[in-house]
């Protein structure tokens, strides 16, 4: 079993993640967090909110920041005025291309299919696959042999042209052998597919009542920019943070929760003076990268990738992705955890003036065939007046946009280890352990009486109740203590406390560390300060 398969099975067995509506056969692209998963994901979100918003010190400039800055939060609705998505560009531009296979009835995202050109028996075809790397090479070879009716020993008869390339490079659809097809030319030409889920508000079922589930939380921040300015005393530079559900009708949801159709985002829109924006961009890129390393994604599997100029959106002066080498990806490939984008004044201006397009280096309001704005803005003034410099300007925006589910999945992947730990008799046994950062661990500490007698349960229960006031702790008196330790290791619990016979004579208990397996004695009355000092 691959590491990923083992992790997926652990997640189900121990209640981190379940497929949505599983008893009805599941719903592709939707996932539920179980009893341990909900704690883990809440801890990820709380760590983000605390580190970015509620715990932010507004009085001094943090490491790398050009000046001190303010942070504030927001929680807005999932369904917003449809005009929001017209001005943001999501209505016209937020789509992927999909291709359908007439033979297998499967649907693929055009840019996710790849393949190789091959010639045999005088015929040149493109063998498509969903696999990458060596698996893709092996699969295309297998399927080419089958298509040309050749045996494995005739493999030299296949004349390949180079490596795997994207399906998007292929124009002649008649020559494509689809990823699940036996015949040529069964894939349809690529068709656009808007990723926003559509719904209807109120009793109107026609287009008048049409609305969308938000595909990102960011726009809710932009449309509330003026409300926040007018209702609080924030001054530029400042950030507004929001976390919550977003929805995208992904064509091919895959890789566990990595690409889901319903997911949670944690986004900041940071508003600053245009002149200082490049410096703030660099600050946020580095600050967000450090957040992941501080919480345990410290190895080579995490990287910061600065986009090439050609990859940048039409309004952006700089974008970087924080990426993680998820175990389900081929070696050398990384998946995006978070994007940090310099968005200039694109968003605020779009919501003032109407949907913008770039024309000769300038952003101008896109016009419809009648010469009027294609999508009208709010007409509200979203500029900022700086009292000190007496200057009025439209702020520039830096956007660190993270996915709570992708982050949670990366923390789980990084934490999963198999190693050895001694059992009751001192014999080494293999164990599965989630080495989660104590701040993220669903359960912070488990409390055990060694045996269910001699007053041990009573002492353990008292410790449990004291700890429970501050931490999510777990009480367990069932089974051999070694088995109880191992169940906690699998759940990622960083500490265990055991009440044993020595407790009855000197009033101390055993503390055990999940990672080092070190054990030490602490006074039963000092369990709260001992744990507090270790869970930071």
What is the smallest separation between the CB atom of 201 and ligand ATP, expressed in angstroms?
Answer: 24
Evaluate the CA torsion angle 320, 324, 325, 330 in order and state its sign: negative
With beta carbons less than 8 A apart as the criterion, state whether 257 and 273 touch: no
What is the smallest separation between the CB atom of 535 and ligand ATP, expressed in angstroms?
Answer: 26
- CB of 310 or CB of 430, closer to ligand ATP: 310
355 contacts ligand ATP (rule: CB under 6 A): no
* Nearest C-alpha neighbor of 317 from the set 274, 265, 355, 359: 274
399 contacts ligand ATP (rule: CB under 6 A): no
What is the smallest separation between the CB atom of 49 and ligand ATP, expressed in angstroms?
Answer: 16
Cβ count near 95 (within 10 Å) = 16
Q: Is 117 exposed, middle or buried (0-12, 13-18, 19+ CB in 10 A)?
A: middle
With beta carbons less than 8 A apart as the criterion, state whether 239 and 284 touch: no
With beta carbons less than 8 A apart as the criterion, state whether 353 and 222 touch: no
* b (16+ CB within 10 A) / e for 343-375: bbbbbbbbbbbbbbeeeeeebebbeeeeeebbb
- CB of 336 or CB of 454, closer to ligand ATP: 336
406 contacts ligand ATP (rule: CB under 6 A): yes
What is the smallest separation between the CB atom of 215 and ligand ATP, expressed in angstroms?
Answer: 8
Query: How far is residue 367's CA from residue 382's CA, in Å, rounded to a whole number?
Result: 21
- CB of 330 or CB of 368, closer to ligand ATP: 330
310-329 positions binding ligand ATP, by CB under 6 A: none
What is the smallest separation between the CB atom of 408 and ligand ATP, expressed in angstroms?
Answer: 10
Going through 492-535 in order, the beta strands assigned E by DSSP cover 495-499, 508-513, 519-523
What is the smallest separation between the CB atom of 198 and ligand ATP, expressed in angstroms?
Answer: 17
Residue located via tokens 């042999």? 145
Q: Is 228 exposed, middle or buried (0-12, 13-18, 19+ CB in 10 A)?
A: middle
242 contacts ligand ATP (rule: CB under 6 A): no
402 contacts ligand ATP (rule: CB under 6 A): yes
Among 112, 260, 350, 493, binds ligand ATP (CB under 6 A): 260
Among 265, 277, 408, 510, binds ligand ATP (CB under 6 A): 265
What is the smallest separation between the CB atom of 235 and ligand ATP, expressed in angstroms?
Answer: 28
Local structure of 526: helix, strand or coil? helix
What is the smallest separation between the CB atom of 437 and ligand ATP, expressed in angstroms?
Answer: 19
Local structure of 529: helix, strand or coil? helix
- CB of 329 or CB of 357, closer to ligand ATP: 329
248 contacts ligand ATP (rule: CB under 6 A): yes
What are the φ/ψ torsions at residue 48 (nearest 5 degrees)?
-65, -50
476 contacts ligand ATP (rule: CB under 6 A): no
- CB of 248 or CB of 514, closer to ligand ATP: 248
Cβ count near 65 (within 10 Å) = 17
217 contacts ligand ATP (rule: CB under 6 A): no
Structural element, H or E, at residue 228? helix 225-231
96-135 positions binding ligand ATP, by CB under 6 A: none
Structure token pair of residue 231: 């209702």
Among 337, 443, 467, 499, binds ligand ATP (CB under 6 A): 337
What is the DSSP code (8-state) at residue 217? S
Among 51, 92, 103, 336, binds ligand ATP (CB under 6 A): 336
- Number of chain positions touching ligand ATP (CB under 6 A): 16
Among 2-10, 65-73, 257-265, 528-536, which window interacts with ligand ATP (CB under 6 A)? 257-265
What is the smallest separation between the CB atom of 265 and ligand ATP, expressed in angstroms?
Answer: 5
Among 401, 408, 488, 503, binds ligand ATP (CB under 6 A): 401
Q: Which residues does residue 495 pair with via DSSP β-bridges, in sequence order?
A: 445, 513
Among 136, 339, 344, 377, binds ligand ATP (CB under 6 A): 339
Helix 404-415, helix 3-13: angle, nearest 10? 110
Could you list the residues that contact ligand ATP (CB under 6 A)? 216, 248, 250, 259-260, 263, 265, 336-339, 401-403, 405-406
């Amino acid at each position: 079993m691959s590491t990923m398969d083992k992790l997926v099975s652990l997640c189900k067995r121990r209640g981190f993640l379940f497929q949505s509506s599983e008893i009805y056969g599941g719903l592709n692209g939707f996932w539920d967090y179980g009893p341990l998963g909900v704690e883990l994901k809440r801890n990820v979100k709380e760590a983000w909110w605390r580190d970015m918003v509620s715990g932010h010190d507004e009085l001094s400039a943090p490491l790398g920041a050009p000046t001190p800055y303010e942070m504030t939060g927001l929680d807005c609705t999932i369904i917003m005025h449809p005009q929001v998505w017209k001005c943001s560009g999501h209505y016209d531009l937020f789509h992927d291309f999909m291709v359908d296979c007439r033979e297998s009835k499967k649907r693929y995202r055009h840019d996710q299919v790849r393949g190789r050109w091959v010639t045999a028996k005088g015929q040149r075809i493109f063998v498509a696959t969903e696999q990458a790397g060596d698996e893709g090479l092996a699969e295309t070879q297998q399927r080419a042999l089958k298509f040309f009716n050749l045996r494995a020993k005739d493999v030299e008869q296949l004349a390949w042209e180079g490596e795997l390339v994207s399906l998007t490079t292929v124009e002649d659809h008649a020559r494509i052998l689809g990823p699940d097809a036996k015949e040529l030319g069964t894939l349809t030409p690529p068709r656009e597919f808007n990723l926003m889920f559509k719904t209807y508000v109120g009793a109107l079922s026609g287009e008048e009542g049409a609305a969308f589930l938000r595909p990102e939380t960011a726009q809710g921040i932009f449309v509330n920019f003026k409300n926040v300015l007018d209702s609080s005393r924030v001054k530029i530079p400042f950030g507004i943070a929001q976390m919550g559900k977003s929805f995208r009708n992904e064509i091919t949801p895959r890789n566990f929760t990595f690409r889901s159709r319903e997911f949670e985002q944690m986004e900041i829109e940071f508003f600053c003076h245009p002149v200082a924006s490049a410096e703030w961009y660099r600050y946020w890129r580095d600050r967000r990268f450090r957040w992941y390393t501080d919480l345990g994604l410290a190895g080579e599997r995490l990287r910061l990738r600065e986009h090439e100029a050609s990859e940048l959106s039409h309004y952006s002066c700089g974008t970087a992705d924080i990426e993680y080498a998820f175990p389900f990806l081929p070696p050398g490939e990384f998946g995006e955890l978070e994007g940090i984008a310099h968005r200039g004044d694109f968003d605020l201006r779009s919501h003032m003036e109407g949907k913008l397009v770039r024309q000769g280096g300038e952003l101008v309001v896109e016009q419809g065939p009648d010469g009027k704005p294609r999508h009208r803005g709010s007409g509200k003034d979203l500029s900022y007046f700086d009292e000190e410099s007496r200057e009025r300007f439209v702020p520039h925006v830096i956007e660190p946009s993270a996915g709570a589910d992708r982050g949670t999945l990366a923390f789980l992947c990084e934490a999963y280890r198999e190693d050895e730990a001694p059992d009751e008799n001192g014999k080494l046994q293999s164990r599965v352990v989630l080495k989660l950062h104590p701040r993220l661990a669903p359960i912070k500490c488990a409390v055990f009486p060694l045996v269910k007698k001699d007053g041990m349960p009573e002492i353990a229960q008292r410790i449990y109740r004291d700890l429970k006031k501050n931490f999510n702790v777990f009480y367990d008196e069932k089974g051999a203590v070694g088995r109880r330790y191992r169940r906690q290791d699998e759940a990622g619990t960083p500490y265990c406390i055991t009440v044993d016979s020595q407790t009855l004579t000197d009033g101390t208990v055993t503390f055990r560390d999940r990672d080092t397996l070190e054990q030490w004695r602490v006074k039963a009355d000092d369990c709260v300060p001992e744990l507090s000092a270790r869970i930071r």
